[in-house]
């Protein structure tokens, strides 16, 4: 049965790729739904479509001259040299070293072409994932598009926008499980434990490459804030561990910063998608900040080419969500005031992102942003 489902999905993916025009909305559904895009061969074909990258007009490979007098070269070199565990176990040293050289060149090429972007520790964890899946030339184009859109907030001169995105974590948890939220607030644990998750798309903390690329399928098909929703569902999944912990900052931080490697990824992906629909960023913005910001990728995502009319990212998810709720006789008042019934919230978390689910909505222009606190990047 698994093999037959996989074959059907592969057929649907290629049907979407071969349609005229390419059915990007269907590709998004495939990337979100169970199993994601299944193979790296398919990812090489679909990831460029999800990012609107023209594979017939790729830039030339970057040259070594990029390293001369480059202000970021030494830091990039140090980070790449420390990235041994990101390469497949058993890979010959000369092959790995060659890939590390390519990794350095891709990063420096993107930074040189986009001087408004600033390198951060952890960026190489994202770039190496693309390099290993699609090769250096295509990875260069994909990473450049990703860096100027989804990752742009992490590449600002300051960490203000990154810190503000982290501010969404606690409101999401609060909507679903006030007990966990209040416990974490009492422990004063903050959100620093999730920083490396967010800015590397979990590439820095997950040891199994299969899980990393599965999450990349999901995130590439979705809104830039989806990684913070996924971080929230990890915390919510570990509810009992959190509540059983000593209620102090050191203990809770230690627990949460040690991410389990055996997470039920498909279940958590489904829950993250459902939470995004039920509690969109526009409804959480007031809790996350007090004033408007205009320069974050999340607030301007509507300008991204991917949000074209034919690809309306929220349509199918919202339709599925409404139909499920009608079937269970949910009322509008319950949906708009989820804190009044915790069992309803937990039931909503249990909904699955079905095969027909499209990618997620752009944030409304009314988002309010105001990062107010100081934070340090992970070592």
**Domain harbouring 66, CATH code:** 1.10.8.1310
Closest C-alpha to 275, from 166, 216, 353, 185: 353
CA atoms within 13 A on the CB side of 150: 28
Q: What is the rounded CA–CA span in Å between residue 222 and residue 276?
A: 10
In a domain, 92, yes or no: yes
Pair (193, 64) in one structural domain: no
Each residue's pLDDT expressed in tens, for the chain with a length of 379 residues: 778 999 999 999 999 999 999 999 999 999 999 999 999 999 999 999 999 999 988 877 767 778 877 889 999 999 999 888 899 888 999 999 999 999 999 999 999 999 999 999 999 999 999 999 999 999 999 999 999 999 999 999 999 899 999 999 999 999 999 999 999 999 999 999 999 999 999 999 998 999 999 999 999 999 999 999 999 999 999 999 999 999 999 999 999 999 998 999 999 999 999 999 999 988 888 888 643 444 456 555 544 444 433 344 455 456 555 655 665 554 443 333 344 344 433 333 333 333 233 333 322 222 232 232 233 333 3
**Domain C-terminal end among 298, 331, 360:** 298
Give residue 283's pLDDT. Answer: 86
What H or E segment, with its residue span, contains residue 145? helix 136-147
**Domain C-terminal end among 130, 151, 172:** 151
pTM of the model: 0.79
Pair (144, 173) in one structural domain: no
Q: Which domain holds residue 222?
A: 159-298
Pair (143, 271) in one structural domain: no
Contact predicate 310/27, CB 8 Å: no
Give residue 187's pLDDT. Answer: 95
**Domain C-terminal end among 151, 178, 196:** 151
Total Cβ atoms within 10 A of residue 235: 23
Pair (118, 220) in one structural domain: no
In a domain, 339, yes or no: no
Rounded to a whole number, what is the distance in angstroms from the first to the last CA of the chain? 45
- For residue 35, the SS3 value is coil
Give residue 53's pLDDT. Answer: 93
Q: Give CA separation, 96 vs 77, 83, 100, 141, 202, in Å.
A: 14, 10, 6, 21, 21
Which tokens belong to 348? 């909503």
In a domain, 342, yes or no: no
In a domain, 318, yes or no: no
Pair (104, 187) in one structural domain: no
Closest C-alpha to 162, from 203, 133, 120, 130: 120
Pair (191, 288) in one structural domain: yes
Q: How many domains does the chain have?
A: 2
Contact predicate 245/255, CB 8 Å: yes
Could you identify the residue written with the tokens 């913070």?
A: 228
Contact predicate 142/219, CB 8 Å: no
Q: What is the rounded CA–CA span in Å between residue 86 and residue 129?
A: 8
What H or E segment, with its residue span, contains residue 42? helix 40-50
């Amino acid at each position: 049965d698994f093999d037959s489902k996989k074959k059907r999905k592969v057929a649907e993916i290629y049907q979407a790729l071969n349609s005229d025009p390419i059915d990007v909305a269907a590709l998004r559904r495939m990337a979100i739904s169970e199993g994601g895009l299944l193979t790296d061969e398919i990812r090489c074909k679909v990831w460029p479509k999800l990012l609107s990258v023209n594979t017939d007009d790729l830039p030339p490979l970057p040259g070594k001259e990029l390293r001369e007098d480059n202000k970021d070269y030494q830091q990039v070199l140090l980070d790449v040299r420390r990235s041994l565990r990101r390469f497949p176990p058993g890979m010959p040293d000369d092959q790995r070293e060659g890939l590390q050289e390519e990794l350095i060149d891709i990063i420096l090429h993107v930074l040189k072409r986009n001087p408004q972007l600033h390198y951060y520790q952890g960026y190489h964890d994202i770039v190496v994932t693309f390099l290993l899946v699609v090769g250096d030339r295509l990875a260069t184009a994909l990473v450049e598009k990703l860096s100027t859109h989804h990752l742009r907030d992490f590449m600002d001169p300051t960490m203000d926008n990154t810190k503000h995105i982290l501010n969404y974590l606690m409101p999401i948890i609060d909507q679903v499980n006030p007990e966990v939220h209040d416990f974490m607030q009492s422990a004063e644990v903050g959100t620093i434990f999730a920083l490396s998750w967010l800015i590397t798309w979990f590439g820095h903390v997950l040891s199994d490459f299969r899980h990393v690329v599965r999450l990349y399928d999901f995130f590439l098909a979705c809104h830039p804030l989806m990684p913070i929703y996924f971080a929230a569902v990890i915390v919510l999944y570990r509810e009992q561990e959190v509540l059983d912990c000593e209620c102090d900052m050191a203990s809770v931080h230690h627990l949460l910063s040690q991410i389990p490697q055996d997470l039920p990824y498909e279940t958590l992906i489904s829950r993250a998608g459902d939470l995004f629909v039920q509690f969109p960023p526009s409804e959480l913005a007031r809790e996350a900040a007090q004033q408007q910001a205009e320069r974050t990728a999340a607030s301007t995502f509507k300008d991204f080419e991917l949000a074209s009319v034919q690809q309306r990212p929220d349509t199918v998810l919202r339709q599925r969500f409404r139909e499920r709720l009608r079937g269970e006789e949910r009322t509008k008042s319950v949906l708009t005031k989820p804190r009044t019934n915790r069992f309803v919230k937990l039931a909503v978390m249990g909904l699955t992102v079905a095969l027909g689910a499209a990618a997620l909505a752009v944030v409304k222009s009314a988002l309010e942003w105001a990062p107010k606190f100081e934070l340090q990047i992970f070592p």
